[in-house]
Amino acid sequence: MKELLAQGLAQLGLTPPPAAVEQMQTYAGLLLEQNKVMNVTAITDPEQVARLHFLDSAALLGCAGDLSGRTLIDVGTGAGFPGMALKLLCPELKLTLLDSLAKRLDWLAAVCSRLGLEDVETVHARAEEQGLKPGFRDHFDFAAARAVADLRVLCELCLPFVRVGGRFLAMKAAGSREELDAARTAIQTLGGRRLEDYTYTIPGTGVVRRVAIIEKTAPTPKRYPRRWAKIQKAPL
């Protein structure tokens, strides 16, 4: 796996810190072991973990740039992607992992301890509630999400976390242009503007991905995010 990761990162034009590839291999082993007792990932082949989790997440650096010293919140982090992969590649990133499942966050905290990672905060909360709280709202340089939800929903969950001048990075499939275009009103309503999408191919696969890059241009109106039932029933 180490060689696969090293080659893939090189194909993405990335030079990882000396310990990063070995840390990724250790993380992958912990992930697959944990998956035997808790559903953490649907991907169980080690090579696919390397490509579809680590390299897919690492590709975000192609549009985020140097994250050293920046703040990023990974909304609905799940097994820790993309946030943990970005942290391994940019050790000085100040990372917040937000998820609604406490057991998953407890495991991620243990992984951080095992890997010797600092400046990683785990937050057990629902995004639509946490985005209303001081210290989180209009606070982060970046928000990232790899969730499968519609972009209109993701924008309402994620943009409130981003400071004016920061960016929300929504990881999407290549064929999502229509969905992204349909989110224009939501983006404007929530204080953002869509920049040019970033597309890439995950190294070692034929999978093409698209990142919707949304810049925060104004504070999100206080009435957003709404309650989850309302967000689902009536997307902006």
102-133 pLDDT per residue, tens? 999 999 999 999 999 999 999 999 999 999 99
Gap between the Cα atoms of 9 and 49, Å rounded: 14
pLDDT score for 43? 82
pLDDT score for 68? 94
List beta partners, residue 173. Answer: 209
pLDDT tens column, 9-37: 999 999 999 999 999 999 999 999 998 88
Is residue 226 helix, strand or coil?
coil
Residue 226: HSE in the Cβ half-sphere, 13 Å Cα cutoff? 13
Residues 6+ apart with CB under 8 A from 200: 12, 59, 62, 208, 209, 211
Give which of 89, 83, 79 is closest to 48, Cα–Cα.
Answer: 79
Q: Are 168 and 216 in contact (CB under 8 A)?
A: yes
Instruction: Write down the mean pLDDT value for the chain.
Output: 95
227-to-145, 207, 232 alpha-carbon distances in Å? 19, 35, 9
